[in-house]
Amino acid sequence: MTLTLNGEKTDIHDNLTVEGLLGYLKIEPARVAVEVNLAIIKKDDFHNRVLKDGDKVEIVNFVGGG
């Protein structure tokens, strides 16, 4: 399937949950927030939210700012 991942079209295997995606990207779930198609996914739902072809996924964290 193809996801739009932080604004970039990315091909990735099917039947992937948010947790699976973070694991694939080697991103620590504790440090990030995830949005799929503009809806925030709660951390408790990372393991059961299955991603679909065409989903727009945003993964954010904290950076330096004032």
Binding site for another protein (CB under 8 A): 5-7, 25-27, 30-35, 38, 40, 42-43, 58-66
**Alpha-carbon distance 44 to 62, whole Å?**
20
CB of 5 to another protein, least distance (A): 6
Using CA atoms, how far residue 5 sits from 35, 51, 65, 66, in Å, is: 10, 11, 23, 26
The smaller minimum CB distance to another protein, of residues 53 and 65, is found at 65
CB of 25 to another protein, least distance (A): 5
